Amino acid sequence: MQFLSIFHEINGDLKVVEKELEKYVLTQEPELTLAAGHLLKAGGKRIRPAFALLAGKFYRYDFEKILPLAVALEIIHMASLVHDDVVDASMTRRGHPTVKAKWGNRVSLHAGDYLSAVALKLISQYQDKRVLKVLSRVTVEMCRGEIQQISASFDAEQNLRDYLYRIKRKTALLISASCELGAVVTEAPEKIVRALTRYGYHVGMAFQITDDILDMISDEKVLGKPIGGDLRQGIITLPVIYALKHSQEKEHLRELVTKQVKSEEEVQEIIRLIKDSGAIKYSFDMANIYLNKAKKELNRLPDVKTKKTFKKLTSFIGERSF
Amino acid sequence: MQFLSIFHEINGDLKVVEKELEKYVLTQEPELTLAAGHLLKAGGKRIRPAFALLAGKFYRYDFEKILPLAVALEIIHMASLVHDDVVDASMTRRGHPTVKAKWGNRVSLHAGDYLSAVALKLISQYQDKRVLKVLSRVTVEMCRGEIQQISASFDAEQNLRDYLYRIKRKTALLISASCELGAVVTEAPEKIVRALTRYGYHVGMAFQITDDILDMISDEKVLGKPIGGDLRQGIITLPVIYALKHSQEKEHLRELVTKQVKSEEEVQEIIRLIKDSGAIKYSFDMANIYLNKAKKELNRLPDVKTKKTFKKLTSFIGERSF
């Protein structure tokens, strides 16, 4: 996998992170393992731990010091995914609730809470108060982002600002915190911490924008999930916002986008209209604006080997297909 | 209200706690206020902040120091109540899901997460690492308790040990932490901290046991909610466990208790069988064992006025009717 090859300087450490994750996620409680274990098996890019480890390379790298943080970051991310799994009666997919075992929803609910609490326990090991300060602030904002996403769903009136508000909270802040805190726990000087914080923020914004593009143009087999998931859930992403303004068939598009239940054909029709509007190029351009900002921050950092890794990673995000 | 009169020495400070709670729970986000605001309006006894404030009186009381903790404790409690509100499709009441506004469930989910994050932010102010250590441990255990409650629901095979495991996690640990940390943040000596921790634990156990008794014998008007709520939800409490062993009509009782959907008559029948078995007296006796242990811990504490308050509070819990 391309991602992994970029990370080669930390691959050994990432394996230890994976082992630790297993330890915390696969518990004695079978219900918990049931609710969160599939996430572990599904793998994932572990980009948050990776960013924390890489950020730690800009000063005095100390894996032992970064490990609990790296694990906590991925667990915070997992907790939010587990809560995304909690299905609402009014939020079924195409009218069919995801098949779940009895009590499935409530277990997901508490499993997410459990993971958050475990992350907190890991964080409580750090003397440096910045770790908790940053992560508590980020988790508050993550919830704000989720809530805005709910209230803005199926709403065709939202604009670029609403979108940026949301992806900042949904994604960018935690990636930014991963970079920031990877540096903090290695006691890096403030200048390095700040540059990494901003780097992570810009990369995170670009990462979510490309994620939202891929939801429309990727290959289902490569992406590992059906295309158009956001559209079905009513999440209005950047390409949609652009297309709603610039499509030749604005009105028709608006009608389709705001439909609470969409047929497969309608989803495909929306994607076609979006592609025709030039929204994909526009969105990639937007991602690249953030990536360029990220690259600029790298210039402020000391010339260590990891800088090249970060540069490669930044380029990769602009071109990724999964 | 009797509770409030016991608290007279901290009533002024509790009012400030209430104001702060409003500040954090009623946010700019209307969705959040919607999901958590009713809890605020419903009032509640605010026993966790009260315990923290009272515990602070055993050394150098400093309201400013305890305030963020007291607010965070109640918010942690509220977050768990908000998550209890998340209705599962398979966990409707008598077959009817609680009527909720569109997205209601998902908003409750994220509102609970938001409150937890806000509590975390409040806690991040403290220099003393014990605050985060204790609360992160308690929140992990609270989740374990919730999960055990789900997997043990409608299970007539559970025993006293399962019950004590659960109420310790559901209730006693957070009350214990309230007492412990009220002392910790006022920099009380270890001896005081330890006695208060144990006091809170025993009082918390007794508090939950009486809660579970009241769910069967209280007056709906006094309790403010329908009697037998636990039975309907399949939560097997101490009186049930006792009656399942000692009732003259064990088999009949077991059949009724394990029914996933119960008629009003069946709930009343269960309560009658429980009362006839002597389970209520047994349960009150059990509560009193814990209350006596709590009182013993008070003997280890310095002779300040608050000791009398704690004694009164302890007696009150044994006799309370709401």
Residue A253 class from Cβ within 10 Å (0-12 exposed, 13-18 middle, 19+ buried)? buried
CA distance A175 to chain B (A): 18
The strand pairing partners of B96, in sequence order, are B93
Helix segments in A186-304, DSSP class H:
190-217, 220-223, 229-233, 238-246, 250-257, 264-276, 279-298
Q: Which of B129, B147, B166, B174 to mutate to test the interface with A (most CBs of A within 10 A)?
A: B147
Would you state the pLDDT for residue B130? 94
Residue of B97, B77, B102 lying closest to B87 (CA atoms) = B97
What are A182's two structure tokens?
């990877």
Whether residues A147 and B118 touch (CB distance < 8 A) is answered with no
Residue A320 lies in a domain: no
Characterise B122 by phi-psi region: left (phi > 0), alpha (psi -120 to 50), beta (else).
alpha
Residue B96 lies in a domain: no
Whether residues A86 and B97 touch (CB distance < 8 A) is answered with no
CA distance A288 to chain B (A): 31
Residue B42 lies in a domain: yes
Would you state the pLDDT for residue A4? 62
CB contact at 8 A, B206 and B222: no
Would you state the pLDDT for residue B243? 98
Q: Model confidence over B295-307: pLDDT tens digits?
A: 999 999 999 999 9
Residue A165: CATH number of its domain: 1.10.600.10
Would you state the pLDDT for residue B93? 38
Report the distance separating Cα B136 and Cα B155, nearest Å: 30
Q: Is B96 helix (H, G, I), strand (E, B) or coil?
A: strand
Residue indicated by tokens 């209005």: A236
Q: Which of A140, A155, A165, A184 to mutate to test the interface with B (most CBs of B within 10 A)?
A: A140
Would you state the pLDDT for residue A322? 56
Which residue on chain A is closest to B107 by alpha carbon? Answer: A147
Nearest to B89 among A105, A121, A142 (CB): A105
Sign of CA dihedral B80, B82, B84, B90: negative
Report the distance separating Cα A48 and Cα A10, nearest Å: 13
Residue B280 lies in a domain: yes
What are A250's two structure tokens?
């604005």
Whether residues B144 and A106 touch (CB distance < 8 A) is answered with no
What are A177's two structure tokens?
């915190």
Would you state the pLDDT for residue B29? 74
Ranges of chain A whose pLDDT falls below 50: 1, 89-102
Strand stretches in chain A, DSSP E: none
Residue of B160, B150, B153, B163 lying closest to B245 (CA atoms) = B160
Report the distance separating Cα B160 and Cα B98, nearest Å: 32
**B239 phi/psi in degrees, rounded to 5:** -60, -35
Which residue on chain B is closest to A118 by alpha carbon? Answer: B140
Would you state the pLDDT for residue B103? 52
Give residue B82's Cα distance to chain centre.
Answer: 13
Would you state the pLDDT for residue A94? 38
Report the distance separating Cα A141 and Cα A89, nearest Å: 26
Look at residue B90 and tell me whether its pLDDT is greater than 50.
Answer: no
Q: How many domains does chain B have?
A: 1
A vs B: CB pairs below 8 A:
151
Give per-residue burial for A183-221: e unless 16+ CB within 10 Å, then b. bbbbebeeebbebbbbbbbbbbbbbbbbbbbbbbbbeee
Residue A287 lies in a domain: yes
CB contact at 8 A, A287 and A209: yes
Instruction: State what percent of residues in chain B have pLDDT above 90.
Output: 70
Report the distance separating Cα B92 and Cα B72, nearest Å: 30
Whether residues A90 and B102 touch (CB distance < 8 A) is answered with yes
Look at residue B132 and tell me whether its pLDDT is greater than 50.
Answer: yes
CB contact at 8 A, A296 and A307: no
Report the distance separating Cα A5 and Cα A10, nearest Å: 10
Would you state the pLDDT for residue B1? 44
Residues 6+ apart with CB under 8 A from A255: none
Whether residues B136 and A129 touch (CB distance < 8 A) is answered with no
| Cα B289–Cα B196–Cα B173 angle in degrees, nearest 5 | 70
Whether residues A110 and B29 touch (CB distance < 8 A) is answered with no
Residue of B129, B147, B142, B140 lying closest to B172 (CA atoms) = B142
Give residue A8's Cα distance to chain centre.
Answer: 21
Nearest to A110 among B97, B117, B146 (CB): B146
Q: Model confidence over A153-212: pLDDT tens digits?
A: 999 999 999 999 999 999 999 999 999 999 999 999 999 999 999 999 999 999 999 999
Report the distance separating Cα B9 and Cα B47, nearest Å: 14
Residue B122 lies in a domain: yes
Report the distance separating Cα A87 and Cα A39, nearest Å: 16
Look at residue B92 and tell me whether its pLDDT is greater than 50.
Answer: no
B132 chain-A contacts, CB cut-off 8 A: 120, 123-124, 132
A39: containing domain: 2-91+100-310
B102 chain-A contacts, CB cut-off 8 A: 90
Would you state the pLDDT for residue B87? 58
A89 chain-B contacts, CB cut-off 8 A: 87, 89, 97, 105
What are A306's two structure tokens?
């990891």
Residue B83 lies in a domain: yes
Residue indicated by tokens 């009623």: B26
Helices (H) and strands (E) in chain A, counts: 17, 0
Whether residues A114 and B83 touch (CB distance < 8 A) is answered with no
Residue A212 lies in a domain: yes
